[in-house]
């Protein structure tokens, strides 16, 4: 069970949504973490629609088995300084896995955004994860 120890992570800053593709990634250290909320901080006024997704890679750095966890829709009605977010999430990310910020639908006006997550460490022991290898 996770404990009440949330903190916020800036996954990427100054990211561009004017082209599709991977923009940033984050992985936990030696303990699993739960992703509890995500947000896109708009540093410009979008004049069109864009979509920013959060994907999970079961093996960090490998697209094999990659799945989409969440999608944030950016609209032309949003403004610079807005944070478009999703909360109430419960995605567990283990050491050896990672999440990737990906623009799936680009718009030329989305030239600068930050991606943030609120995460919570899990009390799971590293010995319970086969990807954790203790140094000798």
Domains defined for the chain, CATH in brackets: 7-123 (2.60.120.1110)
Residue 128's SS3 state is helix
Tell me the pLDDT band of 127, cut-offs 50, 70 and 90.
Answer: low
**Alpha helices in 4-90, H assignment, sequence order:** none
User: Among residues 15, 34, 17, which one has the least CA distance to residue 25?
Assistant: 15
pLDDT of 71-88, one tens digit each? 999 999 999 999 999 999
Residue 129's SS3 state is coil
Higher-scoring residue by pLDDT: 132, 98: 98
Q: Which residues contact 112 (CB under 8 A, 6 or more apart)?
A: 14, 15, 16, 43, 44
| Predicted TM-score (pTM) above 0.85 | yes
């Amino acid at each position: 069970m996770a404990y009440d120890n949330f903190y916020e992570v800036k996954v990427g800053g100054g990211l561009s949504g004017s082209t599709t593709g991977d923009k940033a990634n984050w992985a936990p250290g030696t303990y699993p973490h739960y992703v509890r909320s995500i947000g896109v901080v708009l540093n410009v006024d979008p004049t069109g629609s864009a979509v920013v997704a959060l994907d999970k890679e079961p093996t960090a750095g490998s697209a094999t088995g990659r799945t989409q966890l969440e999608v944030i829709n950016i609209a032309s009605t949003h403004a610079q300084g807005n944070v478009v977010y999703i909360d109430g999430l419960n995605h567990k990310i283990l050491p050896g896995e990672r999440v990737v910020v990906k623009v799936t639908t680009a718009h030329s006006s989305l030239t600068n955004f930050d991606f943030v997550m609120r995460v919570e460490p899990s009390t799971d022991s590293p010995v319970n994860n086969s990807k954790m290898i203790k140094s000798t």
